[in-house]
Amino acid sequence: MKKSKYLFVLLLLISISVVLLGGTFFYVKLNNKQSDDSELLVMTSCNPVYLATINVVGDAEGVTVQNLSQPTTGCLHDYTLTTEDMKNLSKADVLIVNGGGMEGYLEDVVEAYPNLPIIDTFEAVEEDYPVIIEEEAEEEEEDHSHGTSEEHHHDEGANSHIWMSEEIYAGQVQAIADGLAALDSSNASVYASNADTFISVMDSQIDNQGLDETLSGANVAVLHEAFAYTAQSLGANIVATMDLDEERQVSAGEVSDFIDAINENNVQVVFAEYDYGHAMGELITEQTDAKVVYLETLVHGDYSGLDYITVLNKNYAVIKNSL
């Protein structure tokens, strides 16, 4: 009786071992098949670049587009690559970035994967499109608690939120098509055709609600540097800027100067991002006649298809309804 029991247990253990070994074999075989696959894996750095890329790639044969994971809050400038990001990059054939300093982790990527091709869309458009260059500024801020002054230096550089201008974004779309064509000549004509189609759709479907006439030459203020491109697209003059984020410490002097600029320049509307601009927006509403509108920057969320057009149209509608 005992022998039969031991024999049964032995056979059971052997069966389990065979199943596990078989499963492992097929798992490894499947992974090896995937790693040997000739598909082109395109990684993108952020949602605006992802949207442009999926429209350029379309149904191109053998091409997969994947976006790096993104924070639900916070600035893209400060985003740190996750372990999953690094794993995905190790399999990527190309990384497409916004550029202009937006991806603060880019040096780490280059160091870790020196042979990974990178398509820098900012670099591709900066010479031919109206990229906003921030002039070097030096300001003194009085520390009222200690009675001392403190100097703050802002290095000269470009405003890298270029996707907020549909004109520049069209240039980014074209740069992505050109970059992918150089890496994947078999789909070059597909990329070119898709880029032309998407740019044409943008031209026909983005509706600025006539704001390019209403706000042309008008004075506006912004609480997020991304919306400097919104103002530029509408021909408005920016008379006050305060770039707010989770780490930005705003002094009483800055707030006072910003409020004064709005009142002195007859500012009609202030462009803000809700998460970081709401508190300041309430203060502006209390102390000025300007309308504060909360717009989207397209950096967060699960976007797909033509959502770039949808979000821009939503922004323009919000502005229009505030006037």
Instruction: Compute CA 126 distance to the chain's CA centroid, rounded to the nearest angstrom.
Output: 17
For residue 195 the two structure tokens come to 């880029």
8 A C-beta contact, residue 269 and residue 230: no
Helix residue ranges per DSSP H, 220-273:
227-234, 252-264
How would residue 18 be classed by pLDDT, with cut points 50, 70 and 90? very low
Structure tokens at 225: 């540097």
Instruction: Please check whether residue 169 is in contact with residue 163, taking contact to mean a CB–CB distance below 8 angstroms.
Output: yes
Picking from 138, 135, 169, the residue whose alpha carbon sits closest to that of residue 152 is 138
CA distance 114 to 67: 20
pTM, to two decimals: 0.82
226, 208 in Cβ contact below 8 A? no
- Place 258 in a pLDDT band, splitting at 50, 70 and 90: very high
Answer with the residue of higher pLDDT: 203 or 74.
203
Of 195 and 9, more confident: 195
Looking at mean pLDDT, say which of 3-17, 51-65, 242-256 comes out highest: 51-65
Per-residue model confidence as pLDDT tens digits over 113-157:
999 999 999 999 999 999 999 764 434 334 433 333 333 333 358
Whole-number average pLDDT of the chain:
84
- Per-residue tokens: 88: 């995905």
Measured distance CA(179)–CA(94) in Å, rounded: 10
Residues facing residue 294 across a β-bridge: 272
Q: For 300-321, what is each residue's pLDDT tens digit?
A: 767 788 999 999 999 999 999 9
Strands (E), 81-210: 94-97, 118-120, 133-134, 137-143, 148-154, 157-158
76-to-142, 168, 179, 199, 322 alpha-carbon distances in Å: 30, 19, 23, 25, 28
Distance CA 112, CA 131 (A): 30
